[in-house]
Amino acid sequence: MPSAPPASLTALLAGPDRPGLVAHTANWIFERGGNILHADQHRDGDANVFFQRVEWVPAAKHDPAAEAAAFQDYAAQKLGMTARVMASTARPRVAIFASKAGHCFHDLILRFRSGEMRGELACVIANHDDLALSAEHYGLRFFLIPVSPKNKAAVEKRQLKILREQGIGLVVLARYMQILSPEFLAQCGVPIINIHHSFLPAFAGAKPYHQAHARGVKIIGATAHYVTPILDDGPIIAQDVSHVSHRHDVDDLQRFGRDLEKVVLAQAVRWHLENRIIVNGNKTMVFD
């Protein structure tokens, strides 16, 4: 294992397109002694919007946090752009929402433990206790909050309180199976990534593997997306598929699907934590 690379800053920029934006940001970084590691950009020609992801190592003499703030100021005041800057050493705190199914739950946690993810698992919030013992083994706080049609508002209030107390920066719905209310989404204040067990926009809603089997498709899929108030309609981050045939029953589709869900959800979470995703309307740009 080589020595760790120096801490870097990654900025995601978005704003009205105009000539010289690449030069301006590169110059700012160069003149302050920084060294660009990666830079990637995209233009939405229809909307005339420019997007960039740039990663650089700031000069050792600058404090990274101050440098990040300085870049944000520069982007806002001189370029008219919003910038989200994150240090490579940052480890946002992540909450997993789960229910009974354990495949995404275990997969995510094992990836965090193996160092694949630039985040820190803070806690698990679940409406069933099936995964409580495992969470304990992993050393994770486990909040059991059963949900019924009657107590939904109280449940969400308690969930929001936990998110705030735990200082959560990202919520991951690891097959949580409950629809979050628009009120929850409005007050949550941090991004929420969900895994839907179909190849969206096909088979939105409930029981997608049953829908897929009934339709006789030859490929099934899974979709990770940011959650918005419209069910299964948020910006798509990652998708993957498996070939199936008439020989496979719904159980088989679910088994294949679990493997897809694990990989697709983990990829989306990793990209988010590495500050690689910009949401543009109802679409994402992933600078991978």
Distance of CA 110 to the CA centre of its chain: 17
Concerning whether 232 is annotated as a catalytic residue, the answer is yes
Beta bridge partners of 278: 285
| Structural contact between residues 173 and 125, judged by C-beta atoms closer than 8 angstroms | no
Among 201, 205, 206, 207, binds a copy of itself (CB under 8 A): 201
The region that residue 151 occupies, defined by phi over 0 for left and psi between -120 and 50 for alpha, beta otherwise, is: alpha
Q: Is 174 in the site for a copy of itself (CB under 8 A)?
A: no
Nearest residue to 96 via CA among 168, 147, 152:
168
Among 62, 91, 93, 103, binds a copy of itself (CB under 8 A): 103
Q: Is 219 in the site for a copy of itself (CB under 8 A)?
A: yes
Among 86, 90, 122, 237, binds a copy of itself (CB under 8 A): 237
Q: Which range in 100-108, 149-157, 163-171, 189-197 contacts a copy of itself by CB under 8 A?
A: 100-108
Alpha carbon distance 220, 202 (integer Å): 10
Q: Is 246 in the site for a copy of itself (CB under 8 A)?
A: yes
Angle at 260 between CA 281 and CA 225, to 5 degrees: 15
Instruction: Spell out the alpha helix ranges (H) of 95-151.
Output: 103-113, 132-137
Shorter beta-carbon distance to a copy of itself: residue 7 or 219: 219
Beta bridge partners of 220: 242
Alpha carbon distance 174, 269 (integer Å): 11
Q: Which range in 8-16, 60-68, 185-193, 234-242 contacts a copy of itself by CB under 8 A?
A: 234-242
Among 132, 145, 185, 241, binds a copy of itself (CB under 8 A): 241
Closest separation in Å from C-beta 87 to a copy of itself: 20
Binders of a copy of itself in range 5-64 (CB under 8 A): 19-20, 22-23, 26-27, 29-30, 33-43, 45
Angle at 209 between CA 206 and CA 215, to 5 degrees: 105
Tokens at 115, concatenated: 């160092």
Query: Which residue among the candidates 17, 44, 129, 232 is catalytic per the annotation?
Result: 232
> Residues binding a copy of itself: what is the number (CB under 8 A)?
59
Q: Which residue has the tokens 């694990």?
A: 262
Q: Which range in 68-76, 85-93, 110-118, 165-173 contacts a copy of itself by CB under 8 A?
A: 110-118
Q: Is 169 in the site for a copy of itself (CB under 8 A)?
A: no
Alpha carbon distance 246, 210 (integer Å): 13
Q: How far is CA 6 from CA 56, 69, 115, 270, in A?
A: 10, 19, 17, 20
Closest separation in Å from C-beta 174 to a copy of itself: 14
Q: Which residues bind a copy of itself (CB under 8 A)?
A: 19-20, 22-23, 26-27, 29-30, 33-43, 45, 102-103, 106, 110, 114, 116, 137, 199-203, 215-219, 221, 235-241, 245-247, 249, 255, 259, 263, 280, 282-286, 288
| Active-site residue set | 232
